[in-house]
Amino acid sequence: MTNLQPTYLLELEHVTKRFGEHLVVDDLSMQVANGEIVALLGRTGAGKSTVMSLLMGAISCDSGSVRVAGFDPSRDHDTLRGKMAVSFQTDRLLPWRTARENVELGMLILKRPKKEARAKAVEWLARVKLVDADDKYVHELSGGMRQRVSLARALAVDPELVLLDESFSQLDHATSKVLRRDFSQVVREFRKTCVFVTHRIEDAMDIADRVYVLVEPAKICLELKITPEDRLDESRKQVIYDQIADAIGGNDEA
Ligand SMILES: Nc1ncnc2c1ncn2[C@@H]1O[C@H](COP(=O)(O)OP(=O)(O)O)[C@@H](O)[C@H]1O
Ligand SMILES: [Mg+2]
């Protein structure tokens, strides 16, 4: 019997994208299985955000194919509605809404009942460990708290795929580390699939099951797995760190 289920939740095959004459994605192929957390790591200008836009269907590729759950995100908007959620470096929260109201918004847009949206918003804010701040407005929240709200908003719609673009990298290292830990715990607990973009090696080291290192123009120069055992072993971590730093051509703060 033929298995009609796609093997991968997300699949890019020989994807090319130009902006005018400028080649930004060059023959990129990658796959992400259900439940995986995958990092796209590379320097500024490598083309990471462009790959995200392709995954979201905000832009379409010039050649090759992009599939999410077997569908083309640039065409099958209706089918994929609510199946993908995104969160960005800048939190994109609405200042005139409270933390809870911002989380509700994603669900209200998807026409979920108001009562359900409220209950889920409260639930997810607790899961991403935002404490005593549901009724605070955006200006009353720190950067880390805002990112928690943004992540709760993404997760609360119960998407199959969560896309993050530099969600941790605007924060100071300590805040970022705690947020990464809390986020990856909740993503694993709820078996979400996540693709996240970062230019910081430690983001990837901390939470990714697999890392694609991209160099301009969005070409994979290294792909590697990171296991929980790797994370517990300082010398193994260092070897992986050095391997990635080598591939992107220097450390991650450059
Ligand atoms: N809409 C666009 N029009 C023209 N050039 C773009 C556009 N979006 C991105 N680029 C260019 O594509 C390259 C990759 O950008 P981007 O995907 O944002 O990289 P990254 O997220 O890795 O920093 C950059 O040179 C950028 O200037
Ligand atoms: Mg970017």
Q: Say yes or no: CB of residue 58 within 6 Å of ligand 1.
A: no
- pLDDT score, position 163: 96
Q: Amino acid identity, residue 197? A: V
The C-alpha atoms of residue 244 and residue 189 are separated, in whole angstroms, by 28
pLDDT average, residue stretch 171-185: 92
Q: Which ligand is nearest to the CA of 214?
A: 1
Residues facing residue 16 across a β-bridge: 63
Atom 6 of ligand 1: nearest residue by CA position: 19
pLDDT tens per residue, range 179-214: 999 999 999 999 999 999 999 999 999 999 999 999
From 28, 50, 213, the mutation candidate for ligand 1 (largest count of ligand atoms within 8 A of CB) is: 50
pLDDT tens per residue, range 5-21: 567 999 999 999 999 99
Atom 18 of ligand 1: nearest residue by CA position: 49
Question: Which has more confidence, 88 or 107?
Answer: 107
CATH code of the domain made up of 1-83+161-175+192-254: 3.40.50.300
- pLDDT score, position 251: 58
Give DSSP secondary structure letters for 32-95.
Answer: E-TT-EEEEE--TTSSHHHHHHHHHTSS--SEEEEEETTB-TTT-HHHHTTTEEEEESS----T
Is the pLDDT confidence value at 245 over 70?
yes
Confidence bin at 253 (pLDDT 50/70/90): low
SS3 236: helix
Domain with CATH 3.40.50.300 in the chain: 1-83+161-175+192-254
- pLDDT score, position 27: 95
The C-alpha atoms of residue 114 and residue 117 are separated, in whole angstroms, by 5
- pTM, to two decimals: 0.92
- pLDDT score, position 254: 43
- pLDDT score, position 218: 86
Q: Which atom of ligand 1 is nearest to the CA of 165?
A: 21
